[in-house]
Structure 1
């Protein structure tokens, strides 16, 4: 399967400014009261420091041509180790240890720095509820040893520090950057780092990362580099973020390495849902009240059991499975709450700010708290997903879509490089359309390409709503419509990212079944609220949007071991997206 849907997020930063931001974050940690809120701020500091360490190490690698563990890399890893030790101590003490101070930054601040670095977002911390504490807990298997820890950049920098903290080990030796084709990564060590690895080759090595992903090639590449320097395979211990093995793109050699290596993993549930002061259901007791029952897991489509009629699965929409955010239904203080993973550090803080802005505009419930990556909002018990409700009048539907999308277009402008540019959108659309439809798609794609200069000229990126699913629209008892899941799809793992508001208009057409004329009317109303691409360019966005929706459901169909009923649902969603793409190609 060669569909295009995923995209990476990175940004350029000046190291001095990044250090100043980290210093301010540590000051915020020190000023916070002991408990869950401060612990979450400390985790955010570790995530931010990990991104800085990744950027500095990548800059040194670019200068040296290989990973060689230069001075900035070593100083950044010392900083990460100190923060990870503080985070792990805080976890064990329920958030009531003395916080680290900004003096930790001094050694790194004294070093020469490049003019600019590239900071890559750690998807696991932002999207998939990868918690450093889980890696620290797993590392207790190596407690008392003299293991050498190596991380795999980007997210592996902080996770390696967490492993070292959990096992009581020295700071990580280095982090490495796997390079090359996505499913055949390689790790290249410079002479200094290679010599240090060789000197310790008879000891134990711990390799930490978020993976394994589709192929497991990053972890395998790190193990291969160690083996090439004489480290026996049986002395390599892997610290992944999940217990499952590599995905369907893994070759025989990678699967063999995975099978032979010792692996250590503590799942999210074992730590964050345990009876612990910082666990999910206890972290917001000061705001919500004491939990009245264990949290109910709504992840991977589990929310459908609570949002639709009990026992009736015939109306269930498809699920994106593991690609959905972790979320739980919590009963506390006499009412129900949705606890949704919004991201550790800055990602969660941005979601909280957006939720407050939407609530202030009357477009969603007011959030109650953000605690250690989870956003707590009221569960709307009187709301029913649009597909399960009596069809509202078209005027009501269009008015709700207009208010929601116009507010987003006005309130959340984005940087020009915060998402895929129009050319990248069209390139992905071309790849996905040709994959699915073959040569029949060429004429419509060529017509869209002819509009590309105009789209580039007018597009004004905003932090779009980003969803195109009917079930995200909720109908309340009084007939009012409210949009759910509107916080962070502009920053998810998809290629699109931030786009012109017409991207959301195209999504609303798909979700709400709007006619072409209704879509044009919506585009005009949204465009009147904020500048950007004129409504006449909506066909370009329709085509690109439908092509990415087709890719999204094609990938979801590729998940293994699907329940037969779920497979049928996803097939239906894919067929609907393909139909929308055919119509968009024909109109173009």
Structure 2
């Protein structure tokens, strides 16, 4: 697996000259940069697991140089809008890419494991974290604050997204030393050998600036805090630290007092997606990315993320389904030639490409909307004018039942998941369900759920994971103006960082029973229709997945309702939805 990944990156970088200049070439380079970050993260995490402590080795040195070299090429591409003159030709003559290709070849000279486990960082998979924002932030590093900074830059990234983000900061900030670490433990700490610590800090003068880079922070800020603690413990002055986070927010009450005080006073450099890509002052306008697919765009993109799509899709004055604004993907509407187009963040690299392929397959089968293409993380598709979600449309319920059964069966056949990427096991689903039930419904309901533990071996043996939909809610099904029923939001929720992940098709059957209110004769019709198409879970499977689905949804909505910063009206919608799932779970467990 290691050398397959290395060869894929090498081949992609070598062939950049064959890709159309502009956003497509830039996106390909971004994909390979992120894949290289995955490689660095996996190999150095494997080294850490073997050694027990972070150690500066020839492998870590070569990986750091390699990732920074590709980050420099990405910086060059960004500055020239995907068309640097030195990228032309079959084999790029750009110096950073020559360095990267040499570095990939030289990896064979160090002890590299043959296999490893890759983790896709949440920001690149789900969060709409764009690497260009860190280039811009690092470009502002030498701007005067109280006095101009003239010293050397040293960069420490937190492995994961920080592997790539640290390389970008190093490339744009011209760093002298770049390394990544993986804080571990509770609370997390950085554990380096003495020689490694000496190598990182050797020769750093009093004017040296130390950049700490990662996605986030979350409410605890633990990863940033652990790296900064280590630097201070090694004698680095607090005034010499600068943080590169993904957002400008403060740490929450869960953070350690030392971390919260440092964070509040520290220099933090962030640049938002909106600042770079939206509005009249955009550096590289989002609208320009997609015009080869949509035609010339009229006016600025309209942000319909964070639940704002409800104002466009639903009838005025109608009840709004609950959304968790902080967890919604970036979404924009643009107009071209009198038609509207939806741009929705799908992820970078192979995740984005796989979602494009699944979207095309669903559209070809008449199960989803047409998709025009993928541009630097965004799926591009026509907006379905005058389409309405099920709760606001007229339709034949028997037709709906057949459509949904066919949809689940199609996914079961076409979107099978390799065991390595399977989601939560039945045991993990049950553990989560018991915890959610105990928290919201009490010990008695939790114990009734726990009774499933004796059946787990059979449930595990029967599970056949596929890339399930995991989002069967009624408002995700649209009735078009010509009466067709199509599924939207169909490719995001069993990949990336979703905790449920790829499941047995019975999970989607259970989700449909719950979300579409299929009971009695309709339930029998639905399960029978699925069985005729080859999806034949036994009754106990359906009951298990229905109970764990209800508990999962209850927990998600109640947790979202409690999050700080959520609009009170939205919080109330989320709370009511969570309590509704809880009441249905209570009834199901009492039958």
- Pick one of 65, 82, 90 that aligns with 1:78: 65
Aligned residue runs from structure 1 range 94-109, under 5 A: 94-97=81-84, 98=87, 100=97, 102-109=101-108
189-198 or 204-213, larger mean C-alpha shift: 189-198
Q: Is the 8 A contact 2:560 2:574 kept in 1?
A: yes
Partner of 2:162: 156
DSSP-derived class of the 1:118 partner = coil
Aligned counterparts of 1:249 and 1:236: Cα–Cα separation in 2:
22
Question: Which of residues 424, 441, 449 in structure 2 aligns to 1:437?
Answer: 441
Q: Which residue of 1 aligns with 2:146?
A: none
Answer with 192-201 or 283-292: which moved more. Answer: 192-201
CA RMSD of aligned residues (A): 1.9
2:277 to 272, 286, 298: 272
- Counterpart CA distance in 2 for 1:528 and 1:125 is 39
Q: Which has the higher contact order (CA 8 A, sep 6+)?
A: 1
Name 2:576's counterpart in structure 1.
572
483-492 vs 445-454, greater mean Cα deviation? 445-454
SS at match of 2:124: helix
Deviates more, 1:393-402 or 1:243-252: 243-252
SS in 1 for 2:374: strand
Q: SS in structure 1 opposite 2:543?
A: helix
Name which of structure 1's ranges 494-503 and 568-577 shifts more when overlaid on structure 2. 568-577
- 8 Å CA contact retained: 2:126, 2:347: yes
How many Å apart are 1:81 and its aligned residue? 0.6
Task: Output one character per residue of 1:538-574: Cα deviation in whole Å (capped at 9) or x when no partner.
Answer: 0000011111101111221122233232122111211
1:186-335 matched pairs, under 5 angstroms? 186-199=189-202, 200=204, 202=206, 203-274=208-279, 278-310=284-316, 312=317, 314-335=318-339
| 1:61-210 equivalent positions in 2, closer than 5 A | 61-97=48-84, 98=87, 100=97, 102-143=101-142, 145-170=151-176, 172-181=177-186, 184-199=187-202, 200=204, 202=206, 203-210=208-215
Q: Which moved more, 1:26-35 or 1:295-304?
A: 26-35
Q: How do residues 398-417 of structure 1 correspond to structure 2 at under 5 angstroms?
A: 398-417=401-420
SS of 2:442 mapped into structure 1: helix
Q: Which residue of 2 aligns with 1:8?
A: none
Note if contact 2:72-2:168 (Cα within 8 Å) is conserved in structure 1.
Answer: yes
**1:349 aligns to 2:336 (yes or no):** no
Q: Counterpart in 2 of 1:38?
A: 25
Determine helix, strand or coil for the equivalent of 1:151: strand
Given that 2:32 and 2:349 are in contact with CA atoms closer than 8 Å, whether structure 1 keeps it comes out as yes
Change over 3 Å in CA distance of 1:510–1:30 after alignment to 2: farther
1:169 deviates by 2.5
Q: Report the Cα distance in structure 2 between the residues aligned to 1:521 and 1:248, rounded to whole angstroms.
A: 51
**3-state SS of the aligned residue for 1:283?**
helix
Cα 1:457–1:133, aligned 2, differ >3 Å: closer, same or farther?
Answer: same
Q: Deviations 1:190-220 (Å, cap 9, x if unpaired)? A: 2222102332273210011001013111110
| CA distances 1:103-134 after superposition (whole Å, capped 9, x unpaired) | 44122233221232221111101111111110
- 1:137-173: CA deviations, max 9, x gaps? 0001224642101100111000000111222334x52
CA contact (8 A) 2:16 2:25 kept: yes
Deviates more, 1:442-451 or 1:263-272: 442-451
Who is 1:7 aligned against?
Answer: none
What residue ranges of structure 2 are gaps of 5+ in the alignment?
Answer: 143-149
Instruction: State the 1:259 CA deviation.
Output: 1.0
The C-alpha deviation readout for 1:75-100, integer Å capped at 9, x for no partner, is 11111111111111111101001153
Counterpart of 1:57 (choices 23, 32, 44) is 44
Q: For the residues of structure 2 that align with 1:495 and 1:209, how far apart are their CA atoms?
A: 21
CA distance in 1 between partners of 2:297 and 2:3 (Å): 43
1:277, CA displacement in angstroms? 7.7
Partner of 2:140, secondary structure, is helix
Are residues 571 and 531 of structure 1, via their aligned partners in 2, closer, same or farther at CA, if it must alter by over 3 Å? closer
Match of 1:545 among 549, 552, 559: 549
Offset of 1:520 from its aligned partner? 4.5
1:505 aligns with 2:506: no
Contact 2:436–2:552, Cα closer than 8 Å, also in 1: yes
How far residue 583 of structure 1 moved from its aligned partner, in angstroms, is: 2.6
**Separation in structure 2 between the aligned mates of residue 109 and residue 524 of structure 1, nearest angstrom:** 55
Partner Cα distance (1:24, 1:56) in 2: 20
Q: Secondary structure at the match of 1:142?
A: coil
Question: 5+ unaligned residues in a row in structure 1: which ranges?
Answer: 1-13
Deviation of 1:585 after TM superposition, in Å, equals 2.1
Relative to structure 1, is the Cα distance of residues 28 and 388 closer, same or farther in structure 2, using a 3 angstrom cutoff?
A: farther
Which moves more between the two structures, 44-53 or 101-110?
A: 101-110
TM superposition score normalised by structure 2: 0.92
Aligned length: 568
Offset at 1:265? 0.1
Conserved in 1, the CA contact under 8 Å of 2:368 and 2:488? yes
Structure-1 residue corresponding to 2:145:
none
Following superposition, the deviation at residue 530 of structure 1 comes to 3.9
Residues 201, 231 of structure 1: 8 Å contact kept = no
